[in-house]
Structure 1
Amino acid sequence: MSAPAAASVWRQPAQVWAVAFACVVAFMGIGLVDPILPAIAESLEASPVQTELLFTSYLLVTGLAMLVTSWISSRIGAKATLLIGLGLIVVFALLCAMSGSVDAIIGFRAGWGLGNALFISTALATIVGAASGGTGAAIVLYEAALGLGIAVGPLLGGFLGEISWRGPFFGVVALMAIAFIAVLVLVRGPSEKPVRLALSAPLKALRVPSLAVLAIAALFYNIGFFVLLAFSPFPLGFGAIGIGLTFFGWGVALAVTSVWVAPLMLRRMTRTSAMLVTLPVLAADLVVAGILVDDAAALVVCIIVGGLLLGVMNTVLTESVMEATDLPRSVASSAYSAVRFLGGAAAPPLAALLWHLYGPTVPYLFAAASVVIAAATIAFGRRSLARVDTREADAAEEAVAVLVGDAA
C-alpha cells in the first residue's frame, strides 16, 4: 500500500509546489541571520546585546502573533493568510536590507516575525488539503521542504554574508517575492467556508494543566535552543562562511533527527520518557560547550550534537502538545507557541549580557540550567501528562509536531 503513495509524492498539483517552495524559503529564515551577526555588530557599531535583539524582536512578535493567527485564518481563509504573511516578510526583509542602524533592523525584524507567524500557521494545512496521494504524501513533501530549508539557510546566509551583511536579507526578498507570485497565481481558494474560531481560544487553552506544563517546559527548553543557535556565532570567531558551514551541519542534524530519529525513539519509549532522556543529555552538551568554548573545533562538535538533540526534542515535545488536549490542533499549537517563543526571545540578549559580564562560558551554563528546569517541569508534571503517553499520534499530528517544533 505504501509504494503507490510514495510514487505519488513528487506528482503534485502546481499549488502544492508553490507552497512547498515558500516553506523552504521560510524555514531558511531560521538560520539565515546567524552567520552575519558578528558582521552586523561590526558594520553598524552595535553591541552583541543589541545584535541579539534581532532574534528577540522576531521571536517575540512571532509568539504573540500565534495567539491570533488561527482566528485570522478562520475568517479570511488560508490563501489570503499565506499571501499576507509572505507579503509582510518581503517588505520587512527589504527594509532590513536597506537599514542603516541596528535599531531599525530590530524593529523591522518584528514585522518579519508577524509575517512568519501568519505563513507557518497556514502552510501545512494548505499542503495537506491540496496534495495528491493522501496525507502521507503531503507530509513527506512538507518534511522535505522543512529539512532543506533548515539546512540550507545558514549556508546561504554565510555565502551571501561574505559579500555583505545585507546580502542574506536581499536574498530573502528575492526568494519570497517569487513565492508570493507563485502562491498568488497557483493556489486556489478554499471550496468550503472556514470554521471560525474564538479570539480567546488560545489563552483559554493554557488553563488546561497538561498544556500548561508543556508550555512552561518549552519556554525553558527554548532558552537552551536559542543560546546555542543565536549566541554561538560570537565565540566561534569564524567569518560568515565558517559560521554558515557550522550551522549547515547543525541544520542537517536537526532535520534528520526530527524527521527520522524521533519517531524511532517513540516506538520504544513514551513521549515523556523520551524527553526526560534527551533533555539531560542536551544540558550536558551545553555544559561541555561552555567548558570548551575557547576551542573552536570542540564548540563546532557541541553545536552539531546539540542539533541532533534539538531535533528529537522539537518533534517529541510538540507532538505531545498535539495529544495533550481535545482542543483543535491549531488552538493548542498557538497557545503553546506563544509561551515557548518567550524563552526564545529572552535568551539571545541575556546570553550576550552574561558574556559581557562573566565571559563566554556562563551563557552556556545558563542555557544548561534552563534545560534542567525544563526536564524538572516534565518530571514533576508527569501525572498531568498521562494522556500524552497513552495516545498515539496519527500521521497528520506528527507533521504538525515537526511544523511547530522546527518553525521557530
Structure 2
Amino acid sequence: MNQQPGNNSIWNQPKAVWAIGFASIIAFMGLGLVDPILPAIAEKLDASPSQVTLLFTSYNLVMAIAMLITGTISSRLGIKWTLMCGVVIIALFSALGGSSGGIWELVWLRGGWGLGNALFVATALSAIVSFSRSGVAKAIILYEAAIGLGISVGPLLGGSLGSISWRGPFFGVACLMGLAFLLLLFMMPARHPAAASPNAAAPVKRTSLLDPFRAMKYPALLVLGIAALLYNFGFFTLLAYAPFVMHLNERGLGYVFLGWGLLLAVTSVFMAPKLERKLGTIKAMCLMLTLFALTLIAMGIWTSTREVIIVAVILAGAFLGNNNTLITTVVMHAAPVERSTASAAYSFLRFLGGAAAPFFAGKLAEWFNSHVPFYVGGGFVLVSVLFILANRRHLKHIDEAGAAH
C-alpha cells in the first residue's frame, strides 16, 4: 500500500500518543522535581544530606521491584487502565508527600510515588511504540523527548513552587496528574485499534511474574541492564548530590536543572539519531558514557568552584540525553521477548543502581569529603563502558540491525 509523503512523520500521531506523551512529561517531572528543594527539605525537616537523598533511593528501589510486576498487571488490566492506575497513585502519594511532617514519612511516601511511576513508565514506552504510526525508532525518540521535557520542566516547577514552600511542588504534581488522568480517560481508546497502525502488535498475552527474569537469560538484555545499573550510579549522584554543593536557592537550582533537562531533551531527539548513523549504536553509547564519566570526575576535582559545577551539570544533560535514546532503542531490539517484558527486566536492573547511588553519595560525603561522591560516580560510569566493551560480542546483532536500518 502506498503511503502519502510524510505519513510516517514523527509528528503524525494519533491522539492517544499525544495523551500518553503529555502524561509522561508530568510523570517524569517527579524525577527532577525534588532537586531544587533538597537543601530546603534538609533545613525545614532537620535532616542530613544522606537522609534527604533517600527520597531518590526509596523512589527508585520501589520502582525497580515494581517493574517486575508491571507486565503481569498491564496484561490483565490493559494498557489504558494500567497507565491510569499509575497516574492516580502518583497523584495520591505526591499530595500526601506535600502534607508530610517528617523526613522518614516523606521517604516512605516517595516510595509509593515510585510504585505509581513504575506502573506508568513500564507501560508508557510500549504503549507509545504500539500506538505510533511512525515506526519503533521514531516512537522511542518521541518518548525520550517527553522524558526530557518532564525532567527539565520538573526542576523549574520545583524551583518556582519551592521558593514559596517546599511542599508546593508536591501539590503541583498532584494537580497536573489529575489533568493527565482526564486526558488519558477521554483521548485514549480502551483497546488497541489494531487495524489503524502499521506497528500494531498482536493481542497482548498474559505474562507471569517470572517473565522479566526469563528475559534476562538473553545476554544482550542482561549486559545492557547491568551497564545501566552501573552508569546510573553516576546519573543519580549528579541528580541527588550536586544540589548540595552548588549553594544556590530553590529558583537558582531550578534554572540549572532546567538547562540540564533541556539539553537532555534536545539531544535525545535531534542528536542521538545522527550519532547512531555516524558511529553505530554501541560506539556512540560508549562515547557518551565516557564523556559523562569525565564530566563527573571534573566535578570531583573542582567541587568547590560553583561555576564549574553548574556548567558540568548542564553539559551532562547532553551526554545523558544521547545515551538514553541510544540505550532505549537498543533494549527494544535486544531480546526476542515482548517489549513490555524487555523494558521491565532492563528497568529493574537500572533502577537498582538509581536506588543505591543517592544514599551512597551522601554517605561518602559524610565519611570523606564532598569531592569523593563525584569521583566514585564517574568511576562507576567508566566501569559501565568497560563492561559494554568486554561483552561487545553479545551486542553485535544490534549494531548490524542498526546498519541495515
Q: Cα distance, 1:184 vs. partner? A: 2.5
Kept after mapping to 2: 8 A contact 1:215/1:340: yes
Q: Cα distance, 1:159 vs. partner? A: 0.4
User: Is residue 252 of structure 2 the alignment partner of residue 213 of structure 1?
Assistant: no
Show the counterpart of 1:100: 101
- Please tell me the residue identity of whatever aligns with 1:298: V
- Please tell me the residue identity of whatever aligns with 2:89: L
**Cα distance in structure 2, aligned partners of 1:79 and 1:394:** 34
Cα separation, partners in 2 of 1:259 and 1:246, compared to 1, 3 Å: same
SS at match of 2:101: coil
**Cα distance in structure 2, aligned partners of 1:286 and 1:2:** 47
Q: How many residues align?
A: 394
Per mean C-alpha deviation after superposition, the further-off stretch among 4-13 and 37-46 is: 4-13
Aligned sequence identity (%): 47
- Please tell me the residue identity of whatever aligns with 1:275: M
Q: Cα distance, 1:137 vs. partner? A: 8.0
Q: Cα distance, 1:144 vs. partner? A: 4.7
Show the counterpart of 2:171: 170
Per mean C-alpha deviation after superposition, the further-off stretch among 200-209 and 319-328 is: 319-328
Cα separation, partners in 2 of 1:23 and 1:234, compared to 1, 3 Å: same
Q: Which one of 347, 365, 369 corresponds to residue 379 of structure 2?
A: 369
User: Is residue 305 of structure 2 the alignment partner of residue 303 of structure 1?
Assistant: no
**Cα distance in structure 2, aligned partners of 1:6 and 1:342:** 36
Structure 1 segments unaligned to the other structure (5+ residues): 396-408
User: Is residue 358 of structure 2 the alignment partner of residue 348 of structure 1?
Assistant: yes
Kept after mapping to 2: 8 A contact 1:9/1:132: no
Show the counterpart of 2:180: 179
User: Is residue 7 of structure 2 the alignment partner of residue 5 of structure 1?
Assistant: yes
Show the counterpart of 2:199: none
CA deviations 1:211-248 (Å, max 9, x no partner) are: 22221111110001110111100000100001000000
**Cα distance in structure 2, aligned partners of 1:52 and 1:205:** 31
Q: TM-score, normalised by structure 1?
A: 0.90
Show the counterpart of 1:109: 110
Kept after mapping to 2: 8 A contact 1:231/1:352: yes
Show the counterpart of 2:282: 272
Within-5 A mapping of 1:25-44: 25-44=26-45
CA deviations 1:146-202 (Å, max 9, x no partner) are: 332222111111000000000000000111012113322343211585321222110
Cα separation, partners in 2 of 1:394 and 1:90, compared to 1, 3 Å: farther
Show the counterpart of 2:241: 231
Cα separation, partners in 2 of 1:167 and 1:379, compared to 1, 3 Å: same
Per mean C-alpha deviation after superposition, the further-off stretch among 333-342 and 139-148 is: 139-148
CA deviations 1:54-94 (Å, max 9, x no partner) are: 00000111111111111210111011101110110011001
Show the counterpart of 2:89: 88
Kept after mapping to 2: 8 A contact 1:224/1:370: yes
- Please tell me the residue identity of whatever aligns with 1:176: M
Within-5 A mapping of 1:5-404: 5=7, 9=11, 12-13=14-15, 15-130=16-131, 142=143, 144-190=145-191, 194-392=204-402
SS at match of 1:325: coil
When the two chains are superposed, the root-mean-square deviation of aligned CA atoms in Å is 2.3
**Cα distance in structure 1, aligned partners of 2:238 and 2:10:** 38
**Cα distance in structure 2, aligned partners of 1:134 and 1:277:** 26
Q: TM-score, normalised by structure 2?
A: 0.91
Kept after mapping to 2: 8 A contact 1:231/1:351: yes
Structure 2 segments unaligned to the other structure (5+ residues): 195-202
